[in-house]
Amino acid sequence: MFAGKSEELIRRARRALYAKRKVQVFKPALDNRYDESKVVTHMGVDHEAMPVKNVADLRAKVERGTQVILIEEVQFFDESVCDLAIELADKGKEVICAGLDQDFRREPFGPMPRLLAIADEVVKLRAICMNCGATASHTYRQIDGKPAHRDDPIILIGATESYEARCRNCYKLVSGRGRGKK
């Protein structure tokens, strides 16, 4: 988190629009942190997006003639998003996916490992550790000001109230009983 993934997705969408290409931006409906129908950066920059419930819904909403498909928070979709990305790319569409490659436990997140393997290009953005200022690659989750437990639910929609970017040295995770299950 906080590495600029949404900013980069918006930049690429706008660039394609400047080139007069037909663009569609999608986001998971469950991500309603800032807006129901926009991708919004932590700094408040936004771009229209179509919220979708799942991959089948996304597939059904890709319009004929769309040249560039951008998918925000792709880690929240199931593995079938990989098949859809391949299918669209094989039809000549440009498919751009933005998402976290690791969850708060530093484990591969959802379909990301396969998406990274099948991608024509991978851009890994890194944040700044919110604790010490070093380069950060990890998402640190806290609940009520305390580090998350390994067995806490994987998905918890949030922003600065729940998450921080952390470097390897400042990252902490509590083992043992958490507040819930996957």
**Which residues are catalytically annotated?**
73
* Contact yes or no for 31/5 (Cβ under 8 A): no
Q: Strand, coil or helix: what is 113?
A: helix
Helix, coil or strand: residue 91: coil
One-letter identity of residue 151: D
Strands (DSSP E) found in 81-155: 94-97, 127-128, 135-136, 138-143, 146-147
Q: Are 164 and 134 contacting, i.e. CB atoms less than 8 angstroms apart? A: no
